[in-house]
Structure 1
């Protein structure tokens, strides 16, 4: 079974049409925004929508921890797993 982190890496690449980046290029601890992968707020919105559709989770835009959830692939995987009721 494919790891959640790997599914999220592929989701990011496919959602943002990152042609020059492979899943292996994205370290699960690497920052997704600013330094690191260098994504922006529009990218975050697109990823958030796709995360909700793909994994059936709710993302509350008023959640004070939202930036932490999107800080890295590892944190996104933890968030999704918690939302789905699985231990991460």
Structure 2
């Protein structure tokens, strides 16, 4: 893998994270700009303070926009933007 490949992967990951942030901020009508959400900020609890209804909306948004379905067994995905992006990348690689 060349340095250019690594750079392209980093750019693609940044774009994926930014897209997930935009979907969540806009789709849930959050009172925060997407670019202010940290990649590792918890989505629930003291993080963005999302609730169980928001979980269903996120599942729908990810499915509609990335063709990736999050099941009940995949609850770890909702830890942060990074864990959602990791899940999307892994599912796409299958």
User: Into which bin does the TM-score normalised by the smaller protein fall?
Assistant: 0.7 to 0.9
> Unaligned regions of 5+ residues in structure 1, if any?
none
Equivalent residues in 2 for 1:1-88, closer than 5 Å:
3-18=15-30, 20-61=31-72, 63=73, 66-85=74-93
> Unaligned regions of 5+ residues in structure 2, if any?
1-11
In our comparison, the structure showing a higher alpha carbon Rg is: 2
**Which one has a larger percent helix, Structure 1 or Structure 2?**
2
TM-score (norm 1): 0.85
Aligned residue pairs: how many?
Answer: 82
SS at match of 2:68: coil
Runs (4+) of structure 1 exceeding 4 A deviation are none
Give the 3 Å change call, closer, same or farther, for CA 67–60 of structure 1 in structure 2. Answer: closer
Task: Give me the CA root mean square deviation.
Answer: 1.5
